[in-house]
Each structure stands twice: as structure tokens, then as C-alpha cells.
Amino acid sequence: MGKKKAKGTAKPPPLETSVKMVQSILRKRLAQMSSPPEIQGYTKERQQLFDLLKRTTVSGESNSVLLIGPRGSGKTMLLQSVLTELKEDDNIHQNLLQVHLNGLLQTDDRIALKDITRQLQLENTVGDRVFGSFSETLQFLLEALKKGSSQTSKPILFVLDEFDLFAHHRNQTLLYNLFDVSQSAQTPICVVGVTCRLDVIELLEKRVKSRFSHRQIHLFNTHGFYDFSQMCTSYLSLTPGELDATVTEPWNTHVQELVSEPSVRDVLQRQFNLNKDVRGLIALLTHPICRLSPTHPVLEAGDFLDSFKKLTTDTKSAMLHGVSILELCLIIAMKHLMDIYDGEPFNFEMVYSEYLKFAQRKSSMQVYEKPVVLKAFEHLMTLEFIRALDGSGSRVQKEYKLMSLLIHPSQIVDALQKYPNCPTEVKQWAGNSVV
Amino acid sequence: MSVECETYCWGHDPTALENLRKRTPCRSSQIETLLQLFGDAAHYTPPALFVYGHTATGKSCIINGILRSLKLPHVPVNCVECYSSRFLYEHILNNLPSTDNSTRCDNMNDFVRLLQQRIQESQLHDQTVYIVLDKAERLRDMEANILPAFLRLQELTGMNVCTIMLSEIVWEKFRFGTGFSEPYLLHFPDYSKNELLEIMNLDAPSDYPAALYGNYINLIMSVFHLVCRDLKELRHLASLNFTKYVEPIESEEATVNDFRKLWKNVEPHLKKALQTIYLREISSSQWEKLQKEQDSAAINPIPASRSHVELPYYSKYLLIAAYLASYNPVKSDRRFFVKHTAKSRTKPQRAKAKKQERASNHLLGPKPFPLDRLLAIFYSIVEGKVAPTAIIYSQITSLVSLHLLGPAAGEDQIDMPRYKCLVSLDFIKSVSRTVSFEVTRYLYDFA
């Protein structure tokens, strides 16, 4: 069915270029570099934010607001779309100054201040460099902000991404000063904090908290499965005007049909049950979109199934598949020790004696010497399947270091079933702990 | 259809890819997936890929191979070498193809700004730039903002940048705090036994028939495969022992087809290799020398010599006393070290009590003991009168500095320090033999 569709499109642009173009558009969406096709929900929140920013820019009112929501719930996207709409107004476009800060980049107030002066292009910047010490820059910045008033100076929008990280700065100087300016009649500024921590207010100091307007906008993924599959369709389909109509139309109808196919719906439903945010959807779509090529020009239901299978593989079981038989025996011995002693930590000597009990009495396998077994044990340690309880600092011989097992028994059972050429004795030993 | 897909390579040089496939057998599906993810040079790639798999499953080999042979702009980084954030930033910036090579950069903010500049200067903004972070588990030990920032470098720079992280450790162990944008996970599965054979056959020397080497590799696998699946280690072992395997052919005792004889000759040799060279008890060059001198391979001058340290007389007794204090329970001291004691318990009672604790001490490891107890045991076992001089005390501290004793965890006192004994039973046996003291007679687990 897919092939037929693709042939239909092949009239004006040759197949190869059309697929390439489609793919580069879709890839851009995956990488979250282009604005997503349409914003789902959040109409009320969007209006609220829009009004607030507009009041700051037009009537010179100072504001502060926090956007709170889990990761991947569209906080930055909402802000971006509000800003693009604001900028359509020519007056605002020329008047509004923007400062974007990110808690991951500006890890302390000194760096943040320098970046603010750089982004505002103040007098003490030459090119990209900012001069002056921390206190000088702060003083300079505050003076520059204080001189202004709501009538004469341009409004400034501060966007603080990863707001909770700014709250960890020393004395919260930056936050205090920003909120202080927004509370007093100086240059109109609007501070927008973006964070995923619900308890972010508790992180603020009292003096900072009292200056904050306590206006919060919560963004939660409140959509249901219907919206989720709609989102999937809109992520995959092309907006008219991006490409030739001869490419767009058949592509979009194909996507429509594909998403309503029962197997694809089933995959979407299962992904929805695991993770309903956009990032999860994007991860699911990565494989099908990247697979597109002139030799594979349309999305197929099989791609979705493959992709979901890849996303949901248990990484630890996959790693367990690659350990040697001896290491597997050690893991089973550890599992037994955990069973027998109720999850008490163990050391190498115990594991070794448990292994000897099995290898000497119950099996025809070769019994390995202590140093060889110790090497296998250490390999498990570097893979972080087992972890020392009290760091590496304490000085005990490595044989006597207390360890805990970081694999769930069900994962061991799972891995044993998939293990290639596993000796039956080992399997039986894994089944019953009493040897 | 899938065959067609494999050959499609997004305008990259197909011969380079073909060469790569030949050099790295058994990895074509991984190469294909990676090519699909990379796409065209101008295509956007997912912001972060996390590649995990065991040692020597071809993670860095394949990824660097693809990037190199397709001539994509990339910076390989080893996170062990770049152990501090500044080295990491400067290494990446200086290795981008651009003009000057001496940037200073000590925080993430400058790094992102400079990276943007560099990419624009060197005309790379219409291509994907790859940053390959090998041994990515080390990133967890650096500042907390590095890992999340690298994961969203594409968003932060606004450039087409893709971070590829390689690690042996699963992704779950990287998550912390409030989380971050998740990378796309890619697993490199382990090689199966047949795949290992196929890859190791590539090393076959040209002056012997291929079947002979294939057979030899089979032998190597039969001895080592249960213990070790590391391709590098297996190849190393194969290359070391091959001269021994072909020895009968060289000396014309056996022919090339005499597999049985060759096997008989090499098997004990390989078994020994498992205990020596695999554990690095002796170095590869020593092993090769041993192979040349036939007879000395039988004597092998290995492990025993390790556990022999020359100590002063009193230090030996102090160490023995420390060992006894660490591995005997306190309540048994009276029985072992007090000369005339009335036997309070009857024999069956004692046996019963002992059975409960039997052998547990040597399983659980050394227990800490106070200095007083060490000295008490020392005076009861040492022969002759010994004054508690400063020398005795300094010998105790010098035993600590030799790591034969260790301070008990979390304690730092002058008046009554507590120690643990950190030597093995074999070691203490050999020490006590030199002073003709029978240590097992005093050990609770054995007496």
C-alpha cells in the first residue's frame, strides 16, 4: 500500500529529493529546532502569559511569574510561541529587550551578571567581552536599571530557564536584585522563571520570596489518549506551504491512515501508558523518521513496532546477556545470598564459598581458582552490577568489602532465559537456592 | 527490501562504507542504524545518542570509523583524559577545525558561546558536528551541570550538534536530580561465540593454512570462553600462545593436520596461561621468554614469592597478634592466651557454641580491635621479656603505613586507636613459619 502512495507522488519532484525534503523537515521537529506544528491545550495558560508580557511591554508594568511543569510539558515551547506572537507587533518588537539565562550555563551569579551585561550590550562591553569585577558589574547594572522609569526606558524581559538552579546560588543575590527591581518603580522588567520543580518556592530565601509576586502558571500534561494520537499525526504530517502540494497531500493522507491502523494505535497506546509527554513521543518517532530513505520512502507500521521494542528493552538484561558463564554463576550466587540472608550485604569470600558449593558438588563444570573468580567479580563491579556499600575509601581488602547486588531477581531470571547456550546445571541452580 | 536499505548511504562515499563493513564484521546492523540516525550531512541528528555495550564490542571503533571514513566533522573526547571540566571544554574547542588553537574556557557559558562562534567561523553550520564522549560514565563525577548541558547542547547552541556518549554502564545509572532530556539509547550487543571466532580468524597468519589457525582459535575459546568474553583479551591470548601451538610443526614432530597431537601439546599450556598471564601474574614478555626456555615453564617462579615480606622480629609478632585479634572473637581470648584457666564449659557445650560461629570469621573479614588487646595478645605470644618502648609503638604505626594494618573506619584517636589486620591467611602463615609459631592452633576457626 505504501509503495503505491509513493509512486503517486513521484510526478513533479523526483522521489529521492521529495523524501529528502520531507525527512529534513521531520528531523528538524525531532531535534526540537523548529516550532512544533501546533500547541496542544494550554489556551488559558497561554492567554495569561501573553497578557502579562504585553502589559510589561506596552504599559511598563513590572512583573514576575513562574512557569512550572514536568519535563517535556511544553514550558519553553509556550514561552517561545507567546514571544513570537508578541514580536509580530512592530512597536513591541523594537522596544522589548530580552535576556535569556539558563541555570545550566550561568552556574554562578558572576557569570550570570556578565552575561546579562553582554546580552543588553551595555557600555562596559566591548564586542563579546565584559569588563569589571563582580561588584562593579552589579553596581553598574543596578544603576542602569534604577535610572530608568516606566515611561522613559525600554522594558526588559528576563527568562530564567532551570530557575531552581538559580536558587542554589550564593545568597540568591541575582534573584533578590531582579525581584527587587521588579517590585520598585524602576525600569520595567518582567522575570519569567521556568522550572520543573513544584516546590521551587520553598527554595527561595524569605526576602526573595516576599519580593516575588507568587504568580505561577502550572503546565501539566492533561491530555488524553485522543490528543496524544492527534499530536502524533500532527508531528508527522506536513503543514501546507512547506513543500509542494503534490508531495504534501498524499503524505498527509498516508499519515492519517497509518495512525488509525490498529497496530500503530496499539503501540501509541502502550507508549501513552508509559510516558505521555512529547519527549516520549519524539523518542518513539525517531526510528521511523530516521529510517525514511529513497529505498524506504514511506512510514510503515512495522517501524513503529520496532521503535517501541527498542525503546522498552531492559538495558540491564541486555547487558547481562553479555557476561561470561563464570560471571553469571557469581550473580546467581549473590542472588542466593540475598535470598538466604534477607538482603544483607555480602563480600567476595561469601560469594566464592557459595560458588564453590555449587561448582564442586553439583556440577561437572571446571572449578576456577580464587584469583580468576576475583577478576570476574571485579568486572561485575566495573559494570556497576554490584556496588560497594561504603565507598572506596575504607581500607579493607577487596575480598572483604561489603557489597550489594543492584539487579532485581526477575531480571536475572529473564536474562537466564535469553542467555545463549546456558548450561542446564546453572539454570537449575538458579531455580532453587538450597544446594 | 532490507538489502536495498543497507546500500543507501545518503550521498556518502559508498566505497568508504564498504571498507568499514569489511574491517568490522558482525556489526552491519549497528552501522546501518547509526547511518540512519546520522542521515545526510545537513540533516538534523537527534541531540544526544547514548551507546552502551560491553568492553570491546566495537563501540568507539564503529562510531569513530563511520565519522572518519565519511569525513563528518567530529571531535573525539576521552573523558578519562579530560578529567576536569576545563580540559574537556578546551579539548573540544581546540579540536574543531578552525583557526587558532589556544582558547581559554573555564565554564559552560563560555563554552557554548565559543562553540557557536567556532562552528560559524569554520563554515560548519550547515553540517552536523559530532562530539563523541568516550567513557561517558566519568561525566557523572564532574560538576552537576555538565551532563545535562551536553545532552541539550543542540538546544543551547542553536546549532546542529550531536553528542554521542559511549559507556559500559547502563543509562539508568546516569540519572540524577530533577532529570534531564533523555538521549536516544543504542545497544551494542555482545559478540556470540561464532562471531568471536569469525573476528579472531581475521588475525590468521599467512604462513599457515587457515584451517590450522581456525582450529587453534577453537582451542583458545574452549579454554577461555567460559571465563572471558572480552575480544581484546582473547586476541591477546591467542597471539601470545600461537608459537607454542605450532612448535611441534616447527620441530617436525607433527604435521599440519595432526590436530590431536597439537591439542595435547598446547592444552596444559593454555590452562596455565589462564592462571598466570590472564591474571597478569607475569607479564607478556616474561611469558614469551618462558615459552622459549621449555623447561622453566614447568617450574614457574610465580605467585608464592609475592606473599613474602621481610619484617623485623617484633613486627612479625605484632602482625600475628593483630591477625589473631582481628579474626578471633574477644571471648575466646581467655581460652587461647591465659595460661592457667579453669575450664568452665564442658566439651559438648563448647563444641556446640563453636559450631554456630564456625568459619564465619574468615568469611566476614577482619574485625576492628583496640590497641590494648593487640598488646595483650602480643605479650602473651612473644617469647622473652619485651619492654613497651617507643620502638614497639612506632612499629605498630609503621605496619599501618605499610598497609598491613589499617585504622578502623571512621576513627581517629590518639589515646586508644583501633585497628584492623589487612593481610591474608596465607601471608600470616608464612610469617609465623619464619618465627616457628603455629598460628592455626590459636585461630578460633581452625583450633
- In this structure, what are the phi and psi dihedrals at residue B155, rounded to the nearest 5 degrees? -70, -40
Minimal C-alpha gap between A113 and chain B (Å)? 12
Cell readout for B93 is 574547542
Among A324, A347, A421, the residue with its CB nearest the CB of B228 is: A324
CB contact under 8 A, B366 and A326: no
CB contact under 8 A, A283 and B40: no
CB contact under 8 A, A394 and B180: no
Cell readout for B346 is 564442658
CB contact under 8 A, A347 and B424: no
CB contact under 8 A, A20 and B108: no
Task: Quote the distance between the C-alpha of residue A429 and its chain's center.
Answer: 41
Which of B5, B363, B399, B419 would you mutate first to test chain A, the one with the most A CBs within 10 A?
A: B363
Which of B49, B57, B145 would you mutate first to test chain A, the one with the most A CBs within 10 A?
A: B145
pLDDT tens string B204-227: 888 888 888 998 999 889 889 989
Cell readout for B195 is 562471531
Residue of B nearest to A23 (CA): B43
> Which chain A residues touch B181 with a CB distance below 8 Å?
71-72, 279
Minimal C-alpha gap between B35 and chain A (Å)? 9
Name the stretches of chain B with pLDDT < 50: 1-5, 296, 298-299, 304, 357-358
DSSP secondary structure string, B78-107? ETTTS-SHHHHHHHHHHHSSSS-------S
Residue of B nearest to A111 (CA): B109
Contact present, A159 and A101 (Cβ < 8 Å): yes
> Which chain A residues touch B10 with a CB distance below 8 Å?
293
Residue of B nearest to A100 (CA): B156
> Which chain B residues touch A115 with a CB distance below 8 Å?
109
CB contact under 8 A, A164 and B409: no
CB contact under 8 A, B7 and A295: yes
Cβ pairs A/B, distance under 8 A: 182
> Which chain B residues touch A399 with a CB distance below 8 Å?
365, 424
Minimal C-alpha gap between A295 and chain B (Å)? 6
- Give the pLDDT of residue A131: 67
> Which chain A residues touch B46 with a CB distance below 8 Å?
30-31, 286, 290
Minimal C-alpha gap between B441 and chain A (Å)? 22
Mean pLDDT rounded to a whole number for chain A:
85
The residue among B336, B359, B379, B50 whose CA lies nearest residue B184 is B50
Cell readout for B52 is 552502551
Which of A115, A282, A290 would you mutate first to test chain B, the one with the most B CBs within 10 A?
A: A290
Among A23, A325, A395, the residue with its CB nearest the CB of B43 is: A23
Q: How many Cα atoms are found within 13 Å in the side-chain-facing hemisphere of A149?
A: 2
Among A33, A71, A375, the residue with its CB nearest the CB of B44 is: A33
Element containing residue B49 per DSSP (H, E): strand B48-53
Residue of B nearest to A400 (CA): B365
> Which chain B residues touch A105 with a CB distance below 8 Å?
107-109, 112, 145, 149, 156
- Give the pLDDT of residue B164: 96
Which of B36, B89, B197 would you mutate first to test chain A, the one with the most A CBs within 10 A?
A: B36
CB contact under 8 A, A395 and B409: yes
> Which chain A residues touch B226 with a CB distance below 8 Å?
324-326, 365-366
Residue of B nearest to A277 (CA): B181
CB contact under 8 A, B108 and A279: no
Which of A397, A398, A404 would you mutate first to test chain B, the one with the most B CBs within 10 A?
A: A397
Among B10, B36, B156, the residue with its CB nearest the CB of A105 is: B156
- Give the pLDDT of residue A9: 41
pLDDT tens string A210-254: 999 998 888 888 888 998 898 899 888 888 877 788 888 889 999
Contact present, B377 and B330 (Cβ < 8 Å): no
Which of A23, A319, A389, A398 would you mutate first to test chain B, the one with the most B CBs within 10 A?
A: A319
Among A23, A279, A383, the residue with its CB nearest the CB of B182 is: A279
Minimal C-alpha gap between B107 and chain A (Å)? 8
> Which chain B residues touch A318 with a CB distance below 8 Å?
187, 189
Minimal C-alpha gap between B251 and chain A (Å)? 32
Distance CA A49, CA A190 (A): 11
Which of B227, B281, B323, B420 would you mutate first to test chain A, the one with the most A CBs within 10 A?
A: B227
Name the stretches of chain A with pLDDT < 50: 1-11, 435
Among A28, A115, A290, the residue with its CB nearest the CB of B109 is: A115
Phi-psi region of A343 (alpha: psi -120 to 50; beta: other; left: phi over 0): left
CB contact under 8 A, B170 and A349: no
CB contact under 8 A, A318 and B189: yes
